[in-house]
Structure 1
Amino acid sequence: MRRLLGAVAVLGLLAVGACDRREDHARPHSGGQTAVFRHDLSGDVSGEYRPAAADEAAVASLFIGQKAAFAAWEGGDRSAPPLILTLNGPQGEERVLPEFYRVTDASVRMTGATPHGPLELEARIDQDALATARRNLGDLSVVISGTVQSGGRRAPVALTAWNGD
C-alpha cells in the first residue's frame, strides 16, 4: 500500500510540474534555465510587418515565421528563428531574437535582449485587417498593434503587412 501511495504522489508531482511549465505567463529566467517558447496557431500569420508610420517608429519590422519554423524552434533547432524583431536604434537597426515567446492567432508576446537591456513586445493581431491586407496588395491597414518596452522606454507599435517592393 505504501508503494502505491508513493507512486501516486510522485505521479501527482510530475503532473503539477508539467502544468506549471505550460503557463502562458511564464518568462525565461537568467542563470541558464530553459526559456519558454510556445505557439498556438490555427491559421497563417506569417510574414513581415512594418510600421504604419515610419517616422520615429521604435520598431523597423517584425518577422513572423510559418508554423513549421515555430515547431522546429520549440524542438530545439535554433538555426532559423520564427520571430525576429528589428528595432530602430541610435546606431541603426538592431535585430532581437526571442528568449521567450507566446504566439497565437490573436496575439504576439515576446521577450529578448538588447544592448540597452531586456525587451518586451506585447501586441494584438487583427485577423480581419490581415485578411484584407492579403486580399488587397498594398493595403496599409494596421494588422499588429501593441507596445514594445526596452531600456526603460515604452513605445507604441502599429504594423502593417509588408508585401515587398
Structure 2
Amino acid sequence: MSSAERLKELGIELPALGTPKYTYVPFRRAGDIVFLAGQVPRLPDGSYLTGKVGGDCSLEDGKEAARLCGLHMLASAQAVTGSLDDIEFLKVFGMVNAAPDFRDHGVVIEGCSQLLVEVLAERGQHARSAVGMGSLPGNIRVEIEAVLRVVK
C-alpha cells in the first residue's frame, strides 16, 4: 500500500507547508540525507498549541502537539521528493516546553513517533531524543526536527 493510500485509509490530510518566518529553509538535502527544520504545532488557522507541559497543559496536550508536529514533518518530507514512499526517517529530536519537575518527555514525543510508524510502517521507525526545555519560541508546547534518507 502506498503512503498516500495509507494516509487516506487513516483519514489523515497533511497540512500545507508553512513559510519560514526567519532566515532558514524547511529542509536541506545533502545527497540522500535530508535535514528537516524544526516543526511546530501550527493549527490550520495559523495559531499554535502553546503552554508548558506539566504546568498549564497536560501530558495528553503535549502528545497532541507532538502529533501535529509529526503531520507537519510528513508534509515537509513529502515536499523533498513529491512522495512519502521515497523517504525513511532516521532520527527525530523532540523538544518539550516542560515544567521543571516534568519527567515524561519521551511520552510526549511518542505522539509524533507513533504517527510516523502508523503512516510509514518500517520507514517511519527512527532513533530518537526527547528533552525538556525551559521555554520554546512563542511558548509553543513542542518543537521537533528530523533527519531523513531518500530511499529511491
The reply to whether TM is greater than 0.5 is no
Higher helix share: 2
Normalization by structure 2: what TM-score?
Answer: 0.29
Normalization by structure 1: what TM-score?
Answer: 0.27
Instruction: Say which structure, 1 or 2, has more relative contact order (CA 8 Å, 6+ apart).
Output: 2
Question: Highest CA radius of gyration, 1 or 2?
Answer: 1
Higher strand share: 1
